[in-house]
Structure formats: structure tokens, C-alpha cells
A = this chain, B = another copy of it.
Amino acid sequence: MRNFKIALAQYCPSIGNIALNAKKMLEQAQQAQQQGADIVVFPELALIGYPPEDLLLRPSLVKRTQQGLSTLQQIKDIIVVAGYVHIDEAGQRYNSAALIKNGEVLGVYHKQNLPNYSVFDEKRYFTPGQQHLIFEHAGHKFGILICEDIWIEQNTQQLTQLGVETILVLNASPYEAGKPQTRQNLVSKLSKTYNVRIVYVNQVGGQDDLIFDGASTVTNIDGEIAARAKLTDEQLLLIEYNAEAKAYLVQKKPPALDTIPEIYQLLVMSVRDYVNHSGFSGVILGLSGGIDSALTLAIAVDALGANRVQAVMMPYTYTAQISVEDAAAQAKRLGITFGVAEINPIVNGFMKTLYPFFGDGPADATEENLQARSRGTLLMALSNKFGNLVLSTGNKSELAVGYCTLYGDMVGGFAPLKDVYKTIVFELAKYRNAIEKTPVIPERVITRPPSAELRPDQKDQDSLPSYDILDAILYMYIEEDLSQDSIIEKGFDAEVVKKVIHLVDRNEYKRRQGAIGPRISSRAFGRERRYPIVNGWNAGA
């Protein structure tokens, strides 16, 4: 028994780019070795990145993986534990960890518990492993688990029964609000219960709608957190095991965050990574004077810097003067590129062309949608011409009930607030304003009643219940799967509940065509909540 060091490679892969990832992993392993690490641990499926989805079905994966592993085998004098896709001779795929030392693969562990719920489809791709892998180094016994495995308590139990002193856990555990704390509680409790140390290494960075928060963690047997890596950023975290104390040396840890700051930081990360990984020079968004676009703008500037952010205010007849003022004020405070583009000539063009069809009939939602779609098309034109990605500014509450215009305010490649309820939008805006001396969002944007400004004196609350009631109903119906009757029984107005649920059901078609956005809840629209568009569920209730 002697002292040793482990490096937790909390890293952000380029999904699918095995050659690039292997190169990057090699560099990190070399760095770890130079810093005296005995072992370097990478996240789950680090070689291809998580989630690779149907790239896993491509036959050339076999060859590419072999090449990637060859790259990793170049490193000497350090044990590499890295997630990759193992494909056996029968063509079965496994979600695996390779144990590599001095050019040799000493062992392979296959993930035993494959999640196939929520955002996970691992049974679509992988065969489950059947046995544990244990190895010894410096007189210390190590076991390996992969992500879901650690949530199944018997795996930890079995490993400790086999004498394992430290479990290395490779993860690509997607964020949801409060998840970093939940994970930390889990490993802490398992450590304490089973007298085992846990080295929990997580992927970091945004990948499409999933965000990986990092926060890799090391525990000692008393459940104490010996070390924790940063949220949102890559980090090579070194820890040292003291053989005499039988413990990892306790380090200074980044402070734990409350939920609102945590969500804010991760939304910033998701925008940063989506824009950079897609290769866009910057972003553009429509600034309306309302709180959603104001918050989206603040996030964009924090993610990319003011010089990569463009905003445009697109007023029409029904736009209040204070909206124009507040949009300009925020743009000025943040120092972004800002322009104003009146949409009256465009709406007039549409109405002229449509006159032979519409005649002099009364205006309805059609004309409101025309305003929103004129703005959407303008944003896309500016995006096409200057190469900035359009950020869609809608929130989860309005997306849930369809209080948004398809091809209008819904246009965009990425929707930072897609999974953020309106009541949380307010909290995030207040939080962002509180952390700087000069608030970046004009106070009036937060305090004035929300309005889409698509007709005179319109307010959101003309058509919808107040946002605290709306969000409460939405949360129970979407996140908790409660039925209409159960929600009404909790004391909500029956007509309001029925209306809200009806709107959620019938607007699936809109959501299906919306931009992707970062998942922060436990039931995000998109890959996680899979509902039919033609859906008679509540029609039959």
C-alpha cells in the first residue's frame, strides 16, 4: 500500500468526432501523467461523446473506435480508464470502460444497467454487461461502474463485498435542476453505507438539448466530499490518496450553488457550447422589451461576449413606446449591436396580397400571426446575411399552451428558455440583475405585465391565467403526470384546468417544429416527453 494520485478528466467531447476526441484525451492523459497521476479517468463513452444516438448504428464505428483506442494506447506510465463503445465479434455493442496501461488493454468493463427511460435510449443500442471488473494498483483495489450502474445500489454492494476500496464511476449524467446535489448526496450516502470511496467523473458541456454540468466528485468512506470539480467547465482534477489515512486528501471545493444561479450558469454554458460547436460567429435575437428576450439577451452576452451578439427591435403599430425604450436601454447597457426594423411595410405587403382572399372581414389571430411571422422572417434574413444563429426567446409556459407563433417568434436554431417556466424566468432575471451593480435588465421589463403586443392593449393574462397558477397546473400535468381530475381536486378552477390541459394537448404540433433548447427539468419537451400529435387521450376522458 502506498500513496497514489488520480486525475478526473472532466471533459467536453465533440460528439461523433472520435479522432479528435482521442487526440484530446491523449493530451489530457499526458498532462495527468506529467502532474504525477497514477490513473486518469474519463467520462462514459468519452471516445465518441454522449449521446451519440444513431451514429452508433454506423458500421464504420468499429474501425474508428479501434483507431481511437490505438491513439490512447500511445500513452505510457499512467493507467487510463476511458468510456468507449465496445463491439464484440458477434456485432453486439456495449457501453464500456477500457482499462489501458502502457499500450495494452488490461481489462474491459461493460455497463450492466442500461437506462431506457426519460432522455435515454440505451437499450436501442447496447447489450448489458454481466460482470464486474476489479483491478489493483498501489496495493489498492478498484472497481468500475458506469453512470446508471451507481444508481442501482446492489452494484456498489457487490463491489465492496469483493473488497473494492475505491469505485471509479464514468458518467454522462445530464443536468436537471438540483441534480448536482442529488448526485452528491447519492455518492456520499453510498460511501458511508458501504465504507467505500467513490471517484465520480462526469462529462461537461452542452450537446444539443442535453447539458452536462460536470461537478465531478470524490468521496471518502465517511461520506465526506474530498474534492469537487467545477460546474460548466472542463477540468483535470487531481486528487491524492494517503495510504496511511486511507483517505483522499480533502481539497477546497467550488461553492455549491442555489438552484437559480445554478440554472443560470448552465443556460449560459448551453448557449456557449451550441453556438461554438455549430461554428456560428455569433447570435441574433429579437428584443421586444419583454422579459423573455431580455433574459435571453443577458444569457447570450454572458455566454459569448457582447461583440458576438446582435439584437433587433421590430416594432409595429401595437408596440408600446416603453418597449422600444427598454429594448434600446438594455442593448446600450450590454454594449451589443442593436438595430430597429419597423415591420409595418411588411405587414402591409402581406395584407395587400391577401386582400383578394380576406376582403374587409374582421381581424383575428391571422393578423397577429402575420406580425410575428414578419418578425421571424426578418430575423432569419439577418441571420442568413450575416451568419449569426437566431436564438428563439420563448419559455416553457408559452410553449406548453401554444402561446407563441410557429414560424414567428418560434423561429431560431436554439431556444435557451425552452425548458424554463415563466415564473422561473422572472427569478432568473432578478438574479442576473442582482449580481451586478448596474442591473443589465431594465427594472420596468421585469415589473410591467407581460404582453405579446399583437393587438391594442393586449396582456398575456387576457387569455391565460396568471403565471403562478398556469405554471402550477402545467407542472402537475407535465412533470407529475397528474390527471385533470386530480389537479381540480387540489383546488384549482375546473374550467381553467380543462382549458390549460386542452391547450397543452393540442399544441404538440407546434412544439414538434420548435427549436431545441437546454433541458433543465425532469420532463422536457422534445426527446424526453414523447407524445403523439394526433392524441385522443383527454377527448376520451
Contact = CB atoms under 8 A, between A and B. Distances in A.
A510 B246 CA distance: 55
A182 interface: no
Which residue of A51, A369, A536 has the most chain B CB atoms within 10 A of its CB atom? A536
A167 interface: no
A373 B378 CA distance: 10
Interface string A367-381: 001100110111011
Interface stretch (A9-17, A75-83, A153-161): A9-17
A533 B208 contact: yes
A57 B348 CA distance: 48
Interface string A422-455: 0000000000000000000000000000000000
A387 B531 CA distance: 24
Contact of A346 (B350, B381, B485): B350
Contact of A534 (B60, B278, B374, B539): B278
A357 B377 contact: no
Contact of A536 (B15, B117, B535): B15
B55 A531 contact: yes
Interface stretch (A102-110, A213-221, A297-305, A513-521): A513-521
A413 interface: yes
Contacts of A342: 353
Nearest to A117: B124
30 contacts: A15-B535, A16-B540, A17-B540, A18-B540, A19-B540, A51-B532, A53-B532, A54-B529, A57-B481, A58-B483, A59-B483, A60-B483, A60-B486, A64-B541, A207-B534, A278-B534, A342-B353, A343-B353, A346-B350, A349-B349, A353-B378, A354-B381, A357-B382, A357-B385, A364-B384, A366-B385, A369-B380, A406-B411, A407-B411, A512-B516
Interface string A37-68: 00000000000010111110111100010000
A17 B516 CA distance: 29
A342 B350 CA distance: 10
Interface in A85-137: 116-117, 121, 123-124
Contacts of A411: 406-407
Copies in the complex: 2
Contact of A374 (B20, B123, B377, B482): B377
Interface in A482-507: 482-483, 485-486
A530 B58 contact: no
A339 interface: yes
A356 interface: yes
A18 B486 CA distance: 19
Contacts of A513: 513-515
Nearest to A533: B208
A55 B373 contact: no
Given A407-B407, A483-B58, A533 B509 contact: no
A131 to B, nearest CB: 22
Nearest to A373: B377
